[in-house]
Amino acid sequence: MMLRHLANIYRLGVKELWSLWRDPMMLFLIGYTFTVAVYTAGTAMPETLHRTPIAIVDEDDSALSQRLIGAFYPPSFTPPVRISQAEVDPGLDAGRYTLVLAIPPDFQRDLLAGRSPALQLNLDATRMSQAFAGSGFAQQIVLGEVAEFLQRQRVVTPSPVELATRVRFNPTLSNTWFGSPMELVNLITMLSIILTGAALIREREHGTVEHLLVMPVTPTEIMLAKIWAMALVVLLASALSLNGVIRGLLQVPIEGSLGLFFCGVTLHLFATTSMGIFMATLARSMPQFGLLMVLVMMPLQMLSGGVTPRESMPAWVQWAMSLAPTTHFTELSQAILYRGAGIDVVWSSFVALALIGSVLFALSLRRFRATIAQLA
């Protein structure tokens, strides 16, 4: 009896794989998300300054002002553009500059006379990352150049306390090391829900569910077939993306055991594919399923700890998200991929994923049986 059930699950799963193979849009979605999307997430939003557009209003035209202009150079900044005071607001409004440094008249003379002249730094705060990092960097450059000009040399005042900074797990503070693995984690969740939900809705729209009802198969076998087939596709695609794009193309080092990580991926896929089937039983069409995906995926991705640390969230949000599989999957992924953690560290996340997956599978199976009964 058990062998017959396993054979049915296997054959139904193969049918799902053939259906996916004949769906070019789904194949394009899988290929795009696990290659271009992962690469883009790792390279498109650098935290460090890179070619930040800057303009300078030089109303002093002195040796010091020329020194300040020369201190802003690529690759952190684009070559500074000299503009007039009347061009500042139009340039910022048009988005041509992120930073505009205004040097007032008689700046050097006032400085040498012991007065405290003021410089004006205008920021385009709509470019949040560049404006935040650029303002601090620009202040350091200006203060350093002014101090060196006054003292004729750059003097570092010794501090009574030495702060030794030790950066672990990402010594260069590269956004690529963080962005690409976290994007892969999010895509594993998204694609597993989409593929299983779309597989069920596709059968309902094509009328093949009725064909399954007359076959000697149970709802449990149908559901398990969809789960293992779609989970296998996502598992293989994530393995190729991790080794080909993240480790190969982006040169991101992976500290932990890939075998342990993909064991966690398998448990997570068990939970998310069950969730996808549950959502597909609620939606009547693919457009409805897409709208439901937006409502579900946004909190799953934003509140799971991959974007913002969970400790900075309200307590009730932390408690609520502890019931979501993405929270525990993000925890174990960061621990294994970044910090090289072993099973002794991530075992609690594995247990939580197994429990949540079992509950989601039971709820999905109950809902799936009710849907099958209505069609019958």
- Res 375: pLDDT: 61
Higher pLDDT, 330 or 3: 330
- Res 153: pLDDT: 53
Percent of the chain topping pLDDT 90 = 44
Residues making up the chain, counted from first to last:
376
- Res 73: pLDDT: 87
Rg of the Cα atoms in the chain = 28
Percent of the chain topping pLDDT 70 = 94
- Res 45: pLDDT: 61
Contact indicator for 53, 96 with CB cutoff of 8 Å? yes
Average pLDDT over residues 40-46: 75
**Structure confidence at residue 319 as a pLDDT band (50, 70, 90):** very high
- Res 370: pLDDT: 84
Q: Is a pLDDT exceeding 90 seen at residue 232?
A: yes
Q: Is a pLDDT exceeding 60 seen at residue 290?
A: yes
**Structure confidence at residue 131 as a pLDDT band (50, 70, 90):** confident
Q: Is a pLDDT exceeding 60 seen at residue 376?
A: no
Q: Is a pLDDT exceeding 80 seen at residue 322?
A: yes
- Res 30: pLDDT: 92
Average pLDDT over residues 34-48: 80
Higher pLDDT, 32 or 152: 32
- Res 284: pLDDT: 82
- Res 203: pLDDT: 79
- Res 55: pLDDT: 94
Contact indicator for 42, 176 with CB cutoff of 8 Å? yes
Nearest-10 Cα torsion for 214, 217, 222, 223: 120
Average pLDDT over residues 217-230: 88
Q: Is a pLDDT exceeding 90 seen at residue 116?
A: no
Q: Is a pLDDT exceeding 80 seen at residue 1?
A: no
Chain region(s) in the chain for CATH 3.40.1710.10: 54-151
Dist CA 18 CA 11 (whole Å): 11
Dist CA 345 CA 215 (whole Å): 46
Higher pLDDT, 308 or 242: 242
Q: Is a pLDDT exceeding 80 seen at residue 291?
A: yes
Q: Is a pLDDT exceeding 60 seen at residue 196?
A: yes
Higher pLDDT, 154 or 12: 12
- Res 200: pLDDT: 87
Token pair for 116 = 């405290």
**Structure confidence at residue 349 as a pLDDT band (50, 70, 90):** very high
- Res 158: pLDDT: 66
- Res 75: pLDDT: 82
Residue 315 CA neighbour count, 13 Å, CB half: 0
Q: Is a pLDDT exceeding 60 seen at residue 154?
A: no
Q: Is a pLDDT exceeding 80 seen at residue 324?
A: yes
In this predicted structure, which of 48-57, 153-162, 296-305 has the lowest mean pLDDT?
153-162
- Res 210: pLDDT: 63
Q: Is a pLDDT exceeding 70 seen at residue 29?
A: yes
Residue carrying structure tokens 């350093």: 144
Query: Could you check whether the bond before residue 325 is cis, i.e. omega within 30 degrees of 0?
Result: no
Q: What is the pLDDT of residues 95-115, one digit of tens each?
A: 899 999 999 999 999 888 888
3-state secondary structure of 130: helix
**Structure confidence at residue 159 as a pLDDT band (50, 70, 90):** low
- Res 148: pLDDT: 84
Q: For 54-151, CATH number?
A: 3.40.1710.10
Average pLDDT, the chain: 87
Contact indicator for 7, 226 with CB cutoff of 8 Å? no
Closest C-alpha to 92, from 126, 136, 141 = 126
